[in-house]
Amino acid sequence: MSIGKLYIISAPSGAGKTSLVRQLVAEVADLVVSISHTTRRIRPGEKQGEDYYFVSSAEFQILLTNHALLEHASVFDNYYGTAKKTVEKNLNEGLDVILEIDWQGAQQIKKICPDSLSIFILPPSTEVLEQRLQNRGQDEDHVIARRMRDAVTEMSHYDEFDYILVNDDFERALIDLKSIIIANRLTKDRQEQYLKPLIRALLTPPRNSE
């Protein structure tokens, strides 16, 4: 069985990362998103075990103590982390896995999984980013102002990623994401994993050949 590929996708809050990833997974086979643990409060419309595993600070600390997390970071005064066991299980089953994490988590993953590929999603402008945050209707003005300030820090780490795309037009950005996944599935190393029986058969001389 072939081993899956680990993808890191990061973006400032409001850049449209979650919507893009949700549609990407719906349209691309053998691709899953790792569900993170978080200590932040559940938002309207979110579901436990689907959007995040919502846990208490004490429960999160237990995960850290037991070395159960592949990466973790503090974002907007809340903790986020990726469960090691689930990611390893999916990869070993041949699935490609997406981690929706920030630049802090991306740095950690790159150190322990250097073969992972990272993608950073940029907004087309700061004005559009702020408008998207306002349109979500989830945060008060002072929270949006903080998110905008933090977005500058997040975007300053764009050069640490393997791929960069701009989410100006949703469909165009989705095509770009698909292209990255598909292109990396067609590399020699990945194809050799998938096509071992075929390659072996093609390179075996016919029995009646002289």
- The model's pLDDT over 173-182, given as tens digits with 9 standing for 90+, comes to 999 999 999 9
Give the per-residue pLDDT at 208.
Answer: 72
pLDDT value of position 210 = 55
Q: Which residues contact 111 (CB under 8 A, 6 or more apart)?
A: none
Mean pLDDT (whole number) for 119-128: 96
Give the three-class secondary structure for 17: helix
The residue whose two tokens read 């058969």 is: 201
The predicted-structure confidence for 13-50, as pLDDT tens digits, reads as follows: 899 999 999 999 999 999 999 999 999 999 888 999 98
H or E segment and range at residue 132: helix 126-136
47/49 Cα distance (integer angstroms): 6
- Closest-CA residue to 35 (of 92, 95, 80, 67): 80
- Please report the beta strands in the chain, taking only residues with DSSP state E, as ranges in sequence order: 6-10, 31-33, 37-38, 53-54, 69-75, 78-83, 96-100, 117-122, 163-166
Total-model pTM: 0.87
Choose the CATH number for 6-35+95-202 among 3.90.1300.10, 3.30.70.20, 3.40.50.300, 3.40.50.11060.
Answer: 3.40.50.300
Query: Among 10-19, 111-120, 133-142, whose mean pLDDT is lowest?
Result: 133-142
DSSP 8-state secondary structure symbol assigned to residue 205: P
